[in-house]
Structure 1
Amino acid sequence: MKVDNIRDFTVDVPQAALDDLKERLARTRWPEKETVDDWDQGIPFAYARELAAYWHDEYDWRRVEARLGALPNYLATIDGLDIHFLHVRSANPAARPLILTHGWPGSVLEFLDVIEPLVADYHLVIPSLPGYGFSGKPAEAKWSVEHIGAAWDALMRALGYDRYFAQGGDWGSAVTCAIGMNHADHCAGIHVNMVVGAPPPDLMTDLTDSEKLYLARFGWYQSKDNGYSSQQATRPQTIGYALTDSPAGQMAWIVEKFHGWTDCGHQPGGQSIGGHPENALSRDAMLDTVSLYWLTASAASSARLYWHSFRNFAAGEIAVPTGCSLFPNEIMRLSRRWAEWRYTNIVYWNEPDRGGHFAAWEQPELFAGEVRAALAQMTL
C-alpha cells in the first residue's frame, strides 16, 4: 500500500465554524421529556439541556485545540486518502515503536493523557481512523478494518519502523487484531483492551460466576444498547443527515455511550440504572470529543466503518504475542479460556478493578501500566 506526502498538519478550526455551532445550539428544537426516571430511554432531557447549555455558554474548543497543537501532528496520504496522526518520538535510544488506535465514538483525544507515561519508552504513532477527526473521508467503499490494518502497517514502515507493536480498543481492537493476523512479519505483538471473539459452544457449559457476569453485561448491550450499531452498519448515510445538522443530536448520540460504556457507577451486568458519565469523564472531556465530531462533520463518515466492516468481519486466529486487559465495564469481556481459541499466544492477561470501554481516557495511569506490563513480555 502506497504512503506518500507525509507533511506537518496544524489544527486550526475557523472561528466561523465555532460561531455557527453556538447559533445552532441556541436554536435547538427539543423533544419532550422521557417517561422514565433514568437513562433507559436514552440521555435524559434535563441533562441534555444542561450539557448543551454548558457547550453554548462556557465550553472552550480552543483549549483542546492548543493541547493538540502542542504535539507533532501530521497528514500522510495512504492509498489515496489523507490520514491524520500524532507522532511523538521518545528521547530514549532504546524506545520501541507502538501504534495506538481508537474506536467509535472515540478519537485521538482519548490517548492524550497516556502520551507522557508511554513516550518515556515508546515512539508513539496515534492515527485518526479514516472518516474520523482530521483524517480524510473515504469516497470508496473499501476502508474496512482489514484495509485500515494494512494502511497502518504501511504507515509504520514509511515512518521507519519495520518492527512495531500495536494497541487498540473498540474498532481499534479490531484494527489491531487485523494487523496481528495479516502483518505478523512486521508486527511483533499486540495489546487489546477489548477482546473480540465468540466462544466456541463446547466452552459454554459449566460457566464460572465471572463468565455469567460477562454474558449478562453483553446481553444488556444486545437487548438495550446496540441500536446505534444496527443503524450505522445498515444506514449510516441516513443517520448522518440528522447528526451533521444538529449539534444537540450529535451530542446526545455520543454522550449516551459515555454513560453506557464507562465505569461510572453501573449495576452488575451493565444495566443502565444508576451512574452518571461525569463520574468517569469530565464534562469538558466529553464535549472535546463531541466537538471534534461536530466540527469535522464526521457523523456519517465515522458511522460508515460499521457498514464497511460488519458485513465481512474477519475474526481469524491471531498467533502473534498478545496482551489482554479486561476492564470491568467493557462491552464485551471474554474469559481467558474463551479468548484462547482465537488468541493462541497470550503472554499477558489481567483484569483491572476499575475502568470501562474508554480505558485510556478513564484510567490513563492504569491503562499505561497495562500496556507497559503486556509489552514487557514481548520482543522486537
Structure 2
Amino acid sequence: MSSDILPFRIEIPQADLDDLQTRLDLTRFAEELPDEYGVSVKRVRRLAEYWRNGYDWRAWEAKINRWPQFTTVIDGQRVHFLHVRSSRSDALPLILTHGWPGSLVEFLDVIEPLSRDFHLVIPSLPGFGFSAPVLESGWGTLRTARAWAELMNRLGYERYGAVGNDGGSMVSPEIGRFAPANVVGVHVTQIFSFPTGDPAEFVDMTEEEQAAMGVLQRFWEEMGAFNTLHSQQPQTLAHALADSPVGLLGWMAQLFDLELDDDFVITNVALHWLTGTAGSAIRFYYENAKAGWQPTEPTTTPIGLASAKGDFQSIQRFAERDHKNIAQWHTYERGGHYAAHLSPAVYAGDVRAFFTDLLGD
C-alpha cells in the first residue's frame, strides 16, 4: 500500500455544475398537508430556490481551497484532508473529525483562531466528500479511528489531540483508545453514553439529568427514523439520494438546525452531491450497527465535553461509566449541534483552554 501524501485542490468540472443546475430546474416537489410530517415543502422550496439562483459553489470552493489539502491512501481507502500548520513550532497537532450530514465545512470558521496555537488536520470521513465513495464494507467508527491514528503517524505527529463533533464525537475517543501513548486528550461536543436498562442507573437522577433524558427520548421518538434507515437499508435510500439533489437536500435538512445559514446548509449538501458520496456517507451508520462492537473497558485518555443547549444532551453519570478520565464538562447557552460554525469564538476558546490545561501551558 502506498503511503504517498499528494497535494489536492477542489476543481469541480463545470459540466457537473451545469448538470446540477438542470436537475434543480426540473425538480418535482412533493405535496404536503398543513400539519408537520417532516421537513416541510416550504423549507425545501426556499432552500432549493436559493441553490438554483443565489448560491455560489465556486466561492465556497475557493474558500476551502484557501487551505492546504492533500490525499493519501490508508487501508485501501483514499482519504482527503486539510493540513494547516501553525506558525508556532511547538504547537500541538489536533485532528478534527466531523459527522453526518456535515463535512469538514463544519470547521472552516475555527481554522484561523485554532491554527494560531495548533497544527490542524481536518479529514473527510471515509466515504464522505473527497475521501471518495467507500467501495468495501467495514468503514465504521473503529476502522476510521485506526486510519486517523495512521494518518497522524504518516504526518510525523507522535503526540496530538483528537477533536470531534457528531460522528466525530464517536471516532475521537476511539483514537485515544487505539493510540493512548500518542493522544494527549480528546475534546468532543457530545458524549454518546446511554442507559443499559439497569434500573439502578436511574436512581437519584437530578432534574437536569431527567431533562436530558427527556430530550433524548423525544429525539428518538420524533427524529430517529434516519438512524434506523441508515443502519438497516442505506442502499435502498441511496438510489434516490444519488438521483435528485433536492431529494438529498430534503433528507439532509432534517438534521440542519433552522438557525443555520442557508450557505452552510447548501454547501454541505452540495459537497455530498458533487462528489457522489450521498449513499456512501450514510453507510457509516450501517457499519456501526452491524459491527456489534461494545468496549469492555472505559477509555482512560482525558476527555473534555463542550456541549450546547439545543443539541443532544450528554448525561454525566452514563459518561462516567464509559470514560474514566473526564477532565472537562462544559455546557454553553448557544451553539447548537454545529457549534464550530455558529459560535466559532466560543468553540475555539473551549478547545484551546482544554488542551492548554492538559499540557499545563
TM over 0.5: yes
Q: 1:218 to 1:3 in 2, by over 3 A?
A: farther
Classify the secondary structure of the residue corresponding to 1:194: coil
Q: In the alignment, is the contact (CA less than 8 A) between 1:3 and 1:154 conserved in 2? A: no
The residue that corresponds to 2:213 in the other structure is 215
- For the residues of structure 2 that align with 1:366 and 1:3, how far apart are their CA atoms? 40
How many residues align structurally? Answer: 356
* Residue-by-residue CA offset, 1:37-72 (whole Å, 9 max, x unaligned): xxx411211221121111111110001000111100
The residue that corresponds to 1:143 in the other structure is 139
The residue that corresponds to 2:341 in the other structure is 361
TM superposition shift of 1:318: 0.8
The residue that corresponds to 1:295 in the other structure is 274
- For the residues of structure 2 that align with 1:126 and 1:137, how far apart are their CA atoms? 18
Classify the secondary structure of the residue corresponding to 2:299: coil
Classify the secondary structure of the residue corresponding to 2:3: strand
Q: In the alignment, is the contact (CA less than 8 A) between 2:193 and 2:315 conserved in 1? A: no
The residue that corresponds to 2:305 in the other structure is 324
Alignment of 1:244-255 (within 5 A): 244-255=242-253
- 2:19 matches 1:8: no
Stretches of structure 2 lacking an aligned partner (at least 5 in a row) = none
Alignment of 1:52-91 (within 5 A): 52-91=48-87
TM superposition shift of 1:336: 2.5
Amino acid aligned to 2:327: V
Classify the secondary structure of the residue corresponding to 2:327: strand
Alignment of 1:268-347 (within 5 A): 277=258, 280-311=259-290, 312-315=292-295, 316-331=297-312, 333-347=313-327
* Residue-by-residue CA offset, 1:119-145 (whole Å, 9 max, x unaligned): 011000000000001002222112121
- For the residues of structure 1 that align with 2:13 and 2:33, how far apart are their CA atoms? 36
TM-score, length-normalised on structure 1?
0.91
- For the residues of structure 2 that align with 1:337 and 1:142, how far apart are their CA atoms? 31
Amino acid aligned to 1:290: V
Q: In the alignment, is the contact (CA less than 8 A) between 2:152 and 2:158 conserved in 1? A: yes
Classify the secondary structure of the residue corresponding to 2:301: coil
TM superposition shift of 1:378: 1.6
Classify the secondary structure of the residue corresponding to 2:358: coil
The residue that corresponds to 1:206 in the other structure is 204
The residue that corresponds to 2:41 in the other structure is 45
- For the residues of structure 2 that align with 1:29 and 1:323, how far apart are their CA atoms? 46
TM-score, length-normalised on structure 2?
0.95
The residue that corresponds to 2:239 in the other structure is 241
* Residue-by-residue CA offset, 1:85-125 (whole Å, 9 max, x unaligned): 00000001221010000000010001000001100110000
| Off by >4 Å, runs of 4+ in structure 1 | none
Q: In the alignment, is the contact (CA less than 8 A) between 1:32 and 1:45 conserved in 2? A: yes
TM superposition shift of 1:3: 6.2
Q: 1:321 to 1:358 in 2, by over 3 A?
A: same
Amino acid aligned to 1:320: T
* Residue-by-residue CA offset, 1:303-329 (whole Å, 9 max, x unaligned): 111111122243441101111112112
The residue that corresponds to 2:130 in the other structure is 134
Classify the secondary structure of the residue corresponding to 1:240: helix
Amino acid aligned to 1:74: F
- For the residues of structure 1 that align with 2:163 and 2:171, how far apart are their CA atoms? 9
- For the residues of structure 1 that align with 2:49 and 2:172, how far apart are their CA atoms? 38
The residue that corresponds to 1:271 in the other structure is none
* Residue-by-residue CA offset, 1:177-229 (whole Å, 9 max, x unaligned): 11112211211111111111124532312221211211111111111101111
Amino acid aligned to 1:233: S
TM superposition shift of 1:372: 1.2
Classify the secondary structure of the residue corresponding to 1:134: helix
Identical amino acids, percent of aligned pairs: 39
Task: Report the more deviating stretch, 312-321 or 159-168.
Answer: 312-321
